[in-house]
Amino acid sequence: MSGAESTGQTLPRRAARAADLPPPRELPPSLAGDPSLPYAAIGRELADLRTQIPGVHGCVLGGVDGLLVAHNLQNAADPNDLAALAATTYGLGRQIGLRLAQGGFQQSTVRNEHGYLSVYAVSEQALLAVIGEDSINVARLHLHAPGVAARLAALLADAAADA
């Protein structure tokens, strides 16, 4: 029996504030398996980021739906799992931005005992996830990755315009 139950006190409950939140948005169409995407150019962008920043084990381009689009991983991490984790990170970051009225998701970094996972918004449909070892220069990553995300966004927009 908890302390409140033993004293007969009623604990205060948080009132729902559904009116404060915008309506849920529909997910855009999935990019996974889209044959119109420029996979070679996407692969070059991911490879360039991995080689420019020492300590980067690889990159994943995934959809906000958690499905893998492309990857350049150089370790044992499963690219499908990483795409799903990136979407989960995006979802949490998006909710934080909504609740705190700080705007849309841009970037999130998680530091673990032996490394980092950074997730960057590419577009309304796509996310860039970068996995790195503990010794990675995170500031350098944060300087380079947004440019890569912008170039990836342009590649995806061009492919959508051509389709």
Number of separate domains in the chain = 1
pLDDT at 22: 67
Domain, as residue range, for 51: 39-162
pLDDT in tens, 89-147: 999 999 999 889 999 999 999 999 999 999 999 999 999 999 999 999 999 999 999 99
Lowest mean pLDDT among 18-22, 25-29, 113-117: 18-22
Residue 39 has pLDDT above 60, yes or no: yes
**Residue whose C-alpha is closest to residue 55's, from 106, 118, 146:** 118
Residue 154 in domain: yes
Coil vs helix vs strand at 116? strand
Q: What is the mean pLDDT of residues 75-93?
A: 94
pTM for the model: 0.82
Q: Residues 6 or more apart from 62 whose CB is under 8 A from it?
A: 68, 69, 82, 83, 84, 86, 87, 126, 127, 129
Q: What is the pLDDT of residue 114?
A: 93
* CATH number of the domain residue 150 falls in: 3.30.450.30
In a domain, 20, yes or no: no
Q: Report residue 81 as tokens.
A: 């799992």
Query: Does position 16 have pLDDT exceeding 90, yes or no?
Result: no
Examine residue 12 and state whether it is found in any structural domain, yes or no: no
Strand order in the sheet with 115-121: 68-71, 56-63, 126-133, 115-121, 107-112
Supply the pLDDT for residue 43: 93
Phi, psi (deg, nearest 5) at residue 15: -80, 140
